[in-house]
Amino acid sequence: MEIKGVLFDKDGTLLEFHQMWLKVSQGVVAALLTRYPTQVEVTATALLEAIGVYGERVDNYGLLASNPVEDTSKKWFDMLAPQCDFVAFNHEVKGLFNQQVEQMPELIQTLPGIKSTLINLKQKGFKLGIATADTKDATLYSLEQAGIIELFDFIGYSDGDIEPKPAPALMEAFCQHCDLHAAEVVMLGDTVSDMKFGINSGARSVGVLTGTASQEELASHAELVLDSVAEFTPCLLKSA
C-alpha cells in the first residue's frame, strides 16, 4: 500500500534525548529524595539505575527510554515505599517530570535537519503524527518549544488514558484521526519498543540511530535503519 502517513516517536527521534532526559531524571530524583528523606535508605544512583540511567548512559530497554512515566512511578513507589497511595505518588512524579522539563527549555532542541524534513513531508501531503511515551503536558510543551508543534496532524501521548507503545492503541488513534489504514503508515523511532509498536499495529517500521539503540538492536525489528529522520523519505521503503 502507498504510504500516506508518518508517525514519529518524539525523544531521540525528533528531539535531542540524552542531555535533556539525563538532566530531567536527575532533577526529579533529587526532588523526590528531598520529599521522602527518611522513609527508606535509597540512593539517587539506585533510583536512576532502576529506570535505565547508568551514569551518563541511558539504556534503550530501560523505563526512561521506552516506557510511560507511570512505569517509572511504579518502580520508584516500590523502592521508596512512601506513606501515600500510588495515585498520589504517580501524580507527584508526573508533576516533577513536567516541572523539570519546563525548567530546561534551552535543552529542548530538534535534532539536526529534522524541521526541514518534517516541512518537506507536510508539503508533499503526508499526514504527520506523534506517538510518545511522554505525558501530555511535557509533550505539548516540548513540541511547542522546539517550534514544530504546528506541523503535526495528530499528537498522541501516554498519560494513563491510552495503552502505551508497543500496544497499537496510539496507531489506531492516529489512523482514525487522519482516516488512514495502518498499512499506509510508517513508524519512525529510536527504540526497539517503537519498532515493535509499528509491527504490532500492522504499519511499517523504520529505526533511527539518534537515540538510545544501536544498529544491531533495531535492525532485526525494522524494515530499515537510518542514521536520522533527516535522511527519511517514503521512497526508501519497498512497496508492499
d(CA 58, CA 18): 7
Whichever of 52 and 211 has its CB closer to Mg ion, that residue is 211
35 grid coordinates: 520529599
d(CA 40, CA 74): 16
Is 92 a binding residue for Mg ion by CB under 5 A? The answer is no
**Amino acid present at 34:** T
CB of 35 to Mg ion, least distance (A): 28
Site string for Mg ion, 198-237 (x = CB under 5 A): -------------x--------------------------
**To 5 degrees, how large is the angle CA 225–CA 227–CA 228?**
100
Site string for Mg ion, 144-183 (x = CB under 5 A): ----------------------------------------
208 Rama sector, left if φ>0, alpha if ψ -120 to 50, beta otherwise: beta
CB-CB neighbours of 115 under 10 Å: 16
Whichever of 165 and 204 has its CB closer to Mg ion, that residue is 165
Given candidates 12, 62, 129, 207, which one binds Mg ion under the rule CB under 5 A? 12
**Nearest Cα residue to 118 out of 149, 96, 139, 79:** 149
Is 9 a binding residue for Mg ion by CB under 5 A? The answer is yes
Whichever of 68 and 211 has its CB closer to Mg ion, that residue is 211
Is 11 a binding residue for Mg ion by CB under 5 A? The answer is yes
**Amino acid present at 42:** V
Cis peptide before 82 (omega within 30 of 0): no
CB of 11 to Mg ion, least distance (A): 4
CB of 10 to Mg ion, least distance (A): 7
Residues that bind Mg ion (CB under 5 A): 9, 11-12, 190, 211
